[in-house]
Chains A and B, each alone.
Chain A
Amino acid sequence: MKLLSLLFTALLCSVMAQAQYDELGEELLDDDPIFEVNDVDAKFSNESAVVLAQKTKLIVRKTDETHYTEYWVTRMKLKLQDKAAVEYFSDFSISSSDLFEMNIIKPDGQVIEVDTNDAIPVNEGISLSSFFVNMSLNVVDYKKLAIQNLEIGDVIDYAYAENETHYSKPVAASGPVRKYNTWENFLSYSYAFGSTYPKMIQEFVIEIDPTLYFNFKSLNGAPEPTVSTLDNGNKEYTISLKDIPRQESEYFSDVDLTNPRIKLELSYCAPFRYYRNPLLLGQQGVLNGEASSDRLKRAMFLNFAPGKFEALSFLDVYEKDPGDYLRKAFKNFQREVFEEEGSDYVQSSYSYSGYMYEALAAKGFDADIVLCVSKENGNVSEIVRSADFIYGVRVKDGNDYVYSFPIKKYSGFDDWNYGVVGTDAYAFKPSKKFKSFTFTEIEIPEYKPSDNRYEVNMKVSLDVEKGTADIKSETKLSGEIKTLFGEDILITSELEYDRDDLGIDKLERFFERSTEMAEIGRLNMMEGEIAGEFELVKYKSFDIVSTGMEYDNDMLNYKENYVVSDIYRPAGSEYLVLDIGKLITSQIALMPDDRDRQSDIVVQYVKQYEYTINLVVPEGYSIVGYEHLNTNVKTDAGVFNTTAKTSKSGLTVVSFKSYNTTFLPQSSWSEMEAFLDAAYDFSQQKLVLVKDAGSDQTISE
Chain B
Amino acid sequence: MTTSMKKILRHISLPLLLALLVSGAHGQYYNYYSTGSSWETGDSEGLAKKYIKKDDLKDQSHVVYESNIRLVYEWDEEEDRPKVEEEGEITVLSLLDYASFYDGLFQDDNTSVDYVYGVNESGSSYSLSLYKRSYESSSIFHQDGEYVGFGLPSYYSTFGEVMKYKYQVTYNDPKYLTKTYFQRDEFVREGKVEIWIPKWMDVEILSQNFVGYGLKRTVKENVKWDEDFEEEDRGDEKYTVITIEYEDLDPQVVESGSQGYTYYMPHVVHIHKSYEYDDEKEQLFASVADLYGWYKSLVDNLTAEPTDEIKAIVDGLMEGVTDDEEKLRKVFYWIQNNVRYIAFEDGIAGFQPEDAEKVCAYRYGDCKGMANLAKVMLTYAGFDARLTWIGTRHIAYSYDIPTLAVDNHMICCVMLNGKKYFIDPTEEYVALNDYAHRIQGRQVLIENGDSFILDRVPEFTAERNKKSKVKNLKIANGKITGKATEEYNGESKISILRGYSMVRNQSKEDAITSFLNDDNKNLDITNIKLPDFENRDIPVKFSYDFTLANNLQAVGDKYLLQIDYDQEFYYFDFDKDRETAYEFNSKFYLDNTYTLQVPGGFKVEHMPTNVSIEKEGYTFIMTYVKKGNTITLYKKIVISDTVVDLKDMKEWNEDIAALRASYDDYVILSK
Contacts and interface: CB of A to CB of B under 8 A. Distances in A.
29 contacts: A48-B504, A48-B505, A90-B342, A126-B129, A127-B132, A128-B130, A133-B26, A133-B127, A136-B132, A148-B361, A148-B363, A148-B364, A339-B3, A506-B97, A513-B96, A517-B61, A520-B59, A569-B664, A569-B665, A570-B664, A572-B605, A572-B666, A591-B513, A593-B510, A680-B521, A686-B550, A686-B553, A701-B609, A701-B664
Contacts of B513: 591-593
A95 to B, nearest CB: 15
A342 B7 contact: yes
B243 interface: no
Nearest to B339: A149
A253 B548 CA distance: 30
A341 to B, nearest CB: 7
A136 B506 CA distance: 48
A690 B556 CA distance: 11
Interface of A: 46-48, 81-87, 90-91, 120-133, 135-137, 139-140, 144, 146, 148-151, 246, 339-342, 344, 501-502, 504, 506-507, 509-510, 513-514, 516-517, 520-521, 535, 569-573, 575, 577, 589-593, 624-625, 680-681, 684-686, 688, 690, 701
B626 interface: no
Interface stretch (B14-22, B193-201, B289-297, B643-651): B14-22
Interface in B80-129: 95-98, 115-117, 127-129
Given A342-B7, A624-B555, A701-B665, A688 B560 contact: yes
Contact of A126 (B4, B61, B130, B340): B130
B58 interface: yes
Contact of A129 (B127, B514, B555, B606): B127
Contacts of B361: 148-149
B229 interface: no
Contacts of B338: 151
Interface string B341-378: 01000000000000000000111100000000000000
B305 interface: no
B115 A131 contact: yes
B97 A124 contact: no
B668 interface: yes
Nearest to B500: A83
Which one of A81, A146, A571 has the greatest number of beta carbons of chain B within 10 Å? A571
B7 to A, nearest CB: 5
B150 A129 contact: yes
Contacts of A339: 3
Nearest to A118: B362
Given A148-B364, A591-B519, A701-B661, A575 B134 contact: no
Contacts of B158: 506
B141 A91 contact: yes
A502 B159 contact: no
B10 interface: yes
Interface in B1-29: 2-4, 6-8, 10, 15, 18-19, 22-23, 26, 29
Nearest to B16: A126
A513 B159 contact: yes
B602 interface: no
Contacts of A124: 131-134
B549 A684 contact: yes
Contacts of A144: 141-142
Contacts of B6: 340-342
Interface of B: 2-4, 6-8, 10, 15, 18-19, 22-23, 26, 29-30, 52, 58-59, 61, 95-98, 115-117, 127-134, 136, 141-142, 150, 158-159, 338, 340, 342, 361-364, 501-507, 510, 513-514, 519, 521-522, 549-550, 553, 555-556, 560, 571, 605-606, 609, 661, 664-666, 668
Contacts of A501: 2-4
Contacts of B522: 684
A135 B505 contact: no
A527 B23 CA distance: 42
A130 B7 CA distance: 29
A602 B254 CA distance: 42
A124 B8 CA distance: 26
A132 B30 contact: yes
B52 to A, nearest CB: 7
Contacts of B129: 126-129
A104 to B, nearest CB: 11
Given A91-B141, A513-B159, A46 B3 contact: no
Contacts of B98: 506, 510
A624 B560 CA distance: 12
A505 B95 CA distance: 15
Given A127-B129, A572-B606, 16 more contacts: A48-B506, A124-B132, A127-B130, A128-B130, A129-B116, A129-B127, A130-B127, A148-B362, A339-B3, A506-B158, A517-B58, A590-B521, A624-B555, A681-B550, A684-B549, A685-B550
The 4 A-B residue pairs with the shortest CB-CB distance, nearest first, are A130-B127, A48-B504, A569-B664, A571-B666
A424 B502 CA distance: 47
A123 B145 CA distance: 11
B90 to A, nearest CB: 16
B136 A122 contact: yes
B96 A126 contact: no
Nearest to B147: A124
Contacts of A510: 8, 96-98, 159
A572 B624 CA distance: 14
Nearest to B558: A575
A72 to B, nearest CB: 26
Nearest to B571: A535
A628 B249 CA distance: 58
A625 B363 CA distance: 65
Contacts of B142: 120, 144
A217 B58 CA distance: 56
B172 to A, nearest CB: 19
Nearest to A535: B571
Contacts of A87: 340, 502
A344 B553 CA distance: 52
Contacts of B605: 572
B547 to A, nearest CB: 13
B97 A507 contact: yes
Contacts of B666: 569, 571-572, 575, 577
A575 B6 CA distance: 61
Contact of A572 (B23, B504, B506, B668): B668
Contact of A151 (B363, B519, B555, B571): B363
B502 A84 contact: yes
B131 A126 contact: yes
A520 B96 CA distance: 14
Contacts of A571: 553, 560, 606, 665-666, 668
Which one of B3, B95, B116, B503 has the greatest number of beta carbons of chain A within 10 Å? B3
Which one of B4, B6, B30 has the greatest number of beta carbons of chain A within 10 Å? B4
A589 B520 CA distance: 8
A514 B94 CA distance: 13
B52 A513 contact: yes
Contacts of B668: 571-572, 575
A91 B506 CA distance: 22
A131 to B, nearest CB: 7
